[in-house]
Structure formats: structure tokens, C-alpha cells
Structure 1
Amino acid sequence: MARAPELRTVQVIRYVTPLREGGSLPALAEADDEFLYVLKFRGAGQGPKALIAELISGEIARLLGFNVPELVFAELDEAFGRSEGDEEIQDLLRASEGLNLGLHYLSGAITFDPLVTTIDARLASQVVWLDCLITNVDRTARNTNMLTWHKELWLIDHGASLYFHHNWESWEGQSRRPFAAIKDHVLLPWATELEAVDAEFRERLTPDRIAAIVALVPDAWLTDASIPGTPDEQRDVYFQFLTTRLAASDLFVNAAEHARKALV
């Protein structure tokens, strides 16, 4: 049996600098393990939903063999933001007390540019397939959300995926739809091996493995009063969405193939 994924928990000890290019004001922060993390705040933008999407999608990507920065639970103490001079950041820190999400900072990494770095058809197909599964709208030429680090491709920033949870009641219908936004995917022109990748990834991504990843989502992030059900019932919807979508993967694979042929 595959080992269940685990996330370490760190204590944030120093706010280093805001990363203004992020729409939800992520920040570079130091934790008590002496590492730097890109910190995603539960009190920002889309709130805990972005953290849930980041966690589930990032760990699915890791399971499928992609390079993904280590994800950690990041505890933010209530006193942490008192010395922050920027009022906007101070408000964000106060709204994010408790459990947040951190991604290990890849020092020296550069933004992936397909016009500069050649990527093979297999890897391009794997990334496209993943983003179809998790409905990730944020891997475009304008914002690739991929890095080159030590000559390898790394995937980052999955907070815009699993967008069904912004319209919770329609999750079942959305789980069986092709992914229309794939037409804008930065790697789509090179994704010529989608059928082979589909067979490989469907075998690897078993229901037990999906369940183990979804189980990582903490109760503290499942507190939206507009969403019905207990935390366990909400986690089950994420599980059902992903397993239903996986079972109907031919829909999004065929749509992606059609979109690619329209480009080339």
C-alpha cells in the first residue's frame, strides 16, 4: 500500500517581504525550521478555498511525479502582525491567524518560458492532463506558474484550480465537463501524447490515494457558512469531484486534443 502523504507544520517567525505579483498578497516568510517559504494566507482574496486548492492539487501533482515545492502547514501567531507598519499587510496577518499554507522557497528559480526552454511532448502532455483534471485556469502564456530550478521544471501556484468550490451546488455537473480553458494553456501546442499519459495517470491516481490527499485538508479551512455539511462531508465532495472527473477523463482528453489541433 502506498504511504499516505504527510505535511509538516512550521511556526512562522519572520515576515520577510510581500510578493506583490500575487493577487492575494502572498509573502516570503521565515519559519522556525530556518527555511524560507512562500506563504499563502487564509485571510486573503479567495480565503481558505485557495489554500485547499493549492494543497489538494499540489499533492496530486507530487503523487503523479511532478516537481512541486514542499507544502507545509504554517502557523501564524496572533502577535505576529503587531509590528508590521503596512496597514494592508497588518490587516491580512490579523485575518490569517492560525493555520496557513507555505511552499518551500526555491531560491534562484526563474520563470519558465517555453520560447527559451524546450520541453518534450511527454512532459507537456502530463502537465496539460493534470491541469484538465484539477481545472487549473492559471497556466497561461501570461502567467505560466512554472519555474525552472536546477535545470528542471517545477509546478507552483495551484490556488485557482478546483474552482467548482466557488459554486458548490453544481459540483457534480462540473465534474463531468470538458475543461474549456485548456485552449489557453501555455503547453498545449506540445501536448501530443495525452492518450498515453491518460492511461498512465489513471492507473497511478487510485481512489485510495485521492482520499488520502483530500484527508489532509484541515477542519479549520472548511468553515464557510454558505457551504453545507460537516468538514468530513465537504472533504467527501472534493473526493467525489476528483474521482468522478477521473473516471470521465476521456471527455477532457478529447477536448484538449481538439483544442490543440485547432492551434497547430
Structure 2
Amino acid sequence: MNTIDIRTVDVVQYIQPLREGGSLPAIVKADDEFLYVLKFRGAGQGKKVLISELIGGELARSIGLKVPELVFMNLDDSFNKTEPDEEIQDLLKFSVGLNLGLHFLSEAIMYDPLVSIADGMTASKVVLLDSIISNIDRTAKNTNLLNWKKELWLIDHGASFYFHHNWKQWRNHLERTFPIIKDHVLLERADKLPQAAKEITLHMTHEKINEIITKIPEDWLIDESEDLSPNDMRAAYIEFIHSRLSKIDELVKEAEDAR
């Protein structure tokens, strides 16, 4: 079993904001000379989006889907001092510390349901992954998919695990399925759902889930407004993912019915 190695790099240059993203992610250069799309801890829903991005991306990778490399990115307080745009200046100021980056795929094109590439097995895996992580944001309006070098790549899982925006009620989500799957951009092409479910249960093991959850930086889990400790939150993410996997047949049926 491949172990997860998430590198930590330092941001050395802020290049440009990506205005199409609601939370103003940016293209930045790191000290390893590569370009990344940086997701900021100081944006809208903050560190919870970074947690969703990390778990969703690494779970996708575990089942053989293509995801740009995820890295932890240190941002120091020098960038906000030279930024003229006040909105971006505030974002940089509130994001000093550890953020999350995705390797920038140069010349990738946004997935277009009418012309883009997506085989049935891959589409089925993506549909079931999004049912498992409760990703509400992979629709025709906002696909969060790229075609790069004739392959389908997944980006932006920040809208997943939405139960963590209300920790007091999180257990209410354990028994739910995911009816919003009817709006999934790949549903029409997902014609191998039972086979995909077998692949997912084979590779999304208890050990792999635990390994991914242990990678969440402690700092991202500290919230003084919540009663739950970081360890409680880690346990909740693990329990939630297992509850979804235990209902994989229901999720398959729900998606097949929606097709």
C-alpha cells in the first residue's frame, strides 16, 4: 500500500488571484520552483475548506483517480505588505501560516460535458466518491474537473463534508444518503457504478482512511468556538466516511435511480 507523503513548501511569489473562485485562490510559486493553486486558510469558510480539500483529494487518489499533488504551503507575513488590492491584502494577512496548495496544471482545460473525455468507470468512481464525501459542488454549472493531457483530473473538494460547518448536529448526517447526486455532471456517463463500488471498497481501506485523517494539521482542527477537540473531530471524519462506505450499495442504487 502506497503511503501518503504530503510535502511542505514555502510560498516565494504571489502571481495572480483566480477571480472565478469564490474564495479568491491564487497562483503562487513555491521554493521548489513549481507553480501551485493556493487555497487560503483566511478565506470565507477558512480551515474547514482546506480539510475537505485534503481528505477529498487523497481519498480520490486512493481509488485511482487523478488529482494534482497536494502540498502544505507556508505563507509568511511579507506578502500582504506589498499587495495593493485591499481585499487580497486582508486575505494574505489572515492566511499567514500553513495553507494548502494544488500543483498547477498548465494548459489544462475545464471539463465540458458536451466534448470532454470521461470513461464510464472513471465517471462512476467520481460519482460514488462525491456521494461518500458529500461533495455538493460537481455540477454542470461548476464541474471542478479538468482535462489535462487527455485525462480527467479532479480539483476543488472544498464543499465536501458540509456536516463540519455545524459540529453540534454532525451525527444527524450519518444515516443520510446523497440525493443531490441527481445533479452530478458525470452521472450520465457513470454506467459502471456496481463495478466502481467494488474498486472503492477494495482500496478505501480503514488503514488508508486513518492515514489520510492523521495528515490533517492539528492547527486546522483547533476551534475555540467548538466543544469538540481535534481528536474528536478526527474520529468524526473517520466515522462519517465509514458510515458512507457501509451504505455503498444504497449510494449505488440512489445514483442508478437518478440516472
- What's the TM-score once normalised by structure 2's chain length? 0.97
Partner of 2:205: 206
Q: Which residue of 2 aligns with 1:40?
A: 39
Equivalent residue letter for 1:4: T
Partner residue in 2 for 1:170: 169
2:133–2:161 Cα contact (<8 Å) kept: yes
The answer for the alignment partner of 1:25 in structure 2 is 24
Counterpart residue number, 2:186? 187
1:120 matched residue in structure 2: 119
For 2:37 and 2:117, how far apart are their aligned partners in 1?
A: 27
Q: Judge conservation of contact 1:177–1:251 (CA < 8 Å) in 2.
A: no
1:236 aligns with 2:235: yes
Aligned length: 259
The Cα shift of 1:180 comes to: 1.5
**Who is 1:151 aligned against?**
150
Matched residues, percent identical? 56
Deviation at 1:173, TM superposition (A): 2.7
Supply the distance in 2 between the matched residues of 1:119 and 1:19 (Cα, whole angstroms).
25
Which secondary structure state, in structure 2, belongs to the residue aligned with residue 256 of structure 1?
helix
Rounded Cα–Cα distance in structure 1 between residues aligned with 2:97 and 2:140: 35
Task: State the distance in 1 between where 2:117 and 2:11 align.
Answer: 37
Aligned to 1:111: 110
Pairwise CA distance, 1:191: 1.2
Structure 2 partner of 1:6: 5
Question: How far, CA to CA, are the matches of 1:150 and 1:122 in structure 2?
Answer: 18
1:227 offset after TM fit, Å?
2.4
Alignment root-mean-square deviation, CA = 1.1
Work out the CA distance in 2 between the residues paired with 1:227 and 1:241.
18
TM-aligned CA deviation for residue 236 of structure 1:
1.1
> Contact 1:177 / 1:252 at 8 angstroms: preserved in 2?
no
Shift of 1:247: 1.1
- What is the CA–CA distance in structure 1 between the aligned matches of 2:146 and 2:2, rounded to whole Å? 27
For the residues of structure 1 that align with 2:179 and 2:15, how far apart are their CA atoms? 38
1:154–1:118 CA distance, 2 compared to 1 (3 A): closer
Q: Please give the per-residue CA displacement for 1:133-191, whole angstroms capped at 9, x wherever unaligned.
A: 11111111011110011111100000001111112233233122110210110111121
| Counterpart Cα distance in 1 of 2:168 and 2:252 | 25
Q: For the residues of structure 2 that align with 1:239 and 1:178, how far apart are their CA atoms?
A: 17
State the Cα distance separating 1:118 from its structure 2 match.
4.2
The 8 Å contact of residues 18 and 26 in structure 1, kept in 2 or not, is answered as yes
- CA contact under 8 A between 1:18 and 1:27: conserved in structure 2? yes
Distance across 1 between alignment mates of 2:85 and 2:253: 49
Aligned to 2:69: 70
C-alpha displacement of 1:26: 0.3
Q: Which is worse superposed, 100-109 or 164-173?
A: 164-173
Secondary structure class of the residue paired with 2:118? coil
How far apart in 2 are the matches of 1:122 and 1:26?
A: 31
Q: Does 1:133 align with 2:121?
A: no
Once structures 1 and 2 are overlaid, which stretch shifts more, 12-21 or 167-176? 167-176
Q: Residues of 1 paired with 2:164 and 2:252: CA distance? A: 22
Cα offset, 1:79, TM superposition? 2.0
Residue 231 of structure 1 and its aligned partner are, at CA, apart by: 1.4
For 2:119 and 2:101, how far apart are their aligned partners in 1?
Answer: 30
Contact kept, 8 Å, 1:146 with 1:155, in 2: the verdict is: yes
Query: Are the equivalent residues in 2 in contact too, given 1:26–1:38 (CA < 8 A)?
Result: yes
SS in 2 for 1:65: coil
Distance 1:248 1:172, change over 3 A: farther
Give me the whole-angstrom Cα distance separating, in 2, the residues matched to 1:13 and 1:217. Answer: 23
Unaligned runs of 5+ in 1: none
Q: Deviations over 1:66-92 (max 9, x none)?
A: 110000000001222110010110100
Aligned partners of 2:227, 2:186: CA distance in 1, in Å? 37
Partner-residue secondary structure (3-state), 1:30: strand
How far is 1:205 from its partner?
A: 0.8
